[in-house]
Amino acid sequence: MSERILTGLVMGLALLLSGAVASETLRDPTQPPEPERAAPSGPAPLDMSLDSILTSNDRRVAVINGQAVREGDPIGDARVQRIGEDRVLLQINRTTRTLTLDGTPSVRQP
């Protein structure tokens, strides 16, 4: 008699567990399909902003995220490759990324 009860309990438990597993793998047919996730195209966006560029006859300084840097200086995971009139080229690993000034630059005369 106890063997029948034990077999019944095991079978009942197996049915309960198989129902829980099956409900997790089945998709509700009344719900719209999940959108496909597109693979990122191109390099990830930089978490850096070019605040300003200061130039004189003998030096160029860029301010990136509030930090003044010159050509060759490291900033975050990047290295400043070149400072232009309105842009800065950064070397990140083996990739060159460009930061540009947003808006019209203001010029102040000495």
Domain that holds residue 88: 50-100
In a domain, 24, yes or no: no
In a domain, 75, yes or no: yes
In a domain, 71, yes or no: yes
In a domain, 21, yes or no: no
109, pLDDT greater than 60: no
Stated pTM of the model: 0.55
54, pLDDT greater than 70: yes
In a domain, 60, yes or no: yes
Using CA atoms, how far residue 58 sits from 22, 54, 55, 61, 96, in Å, is 72, 11, 8, 10, 25
* Tokens 């003998």 sit on residue: 58
Q: Exposed, middle or buried by CB within 10 Å (0-12, 13-18, 19+), for 1?
A: exposed
22, pLDDT greater than 60: no
At 59-68, the pLDDT tens digits run: 999 999 999 9
Q: What share of the chain is helix, strand, coil (3-state, %, to 5)?
A: 20, 30, 45
Average pLDDT over residues 31-50: 70
- Judge whether 86 and 98 are in contact, CB under 8 Å: no
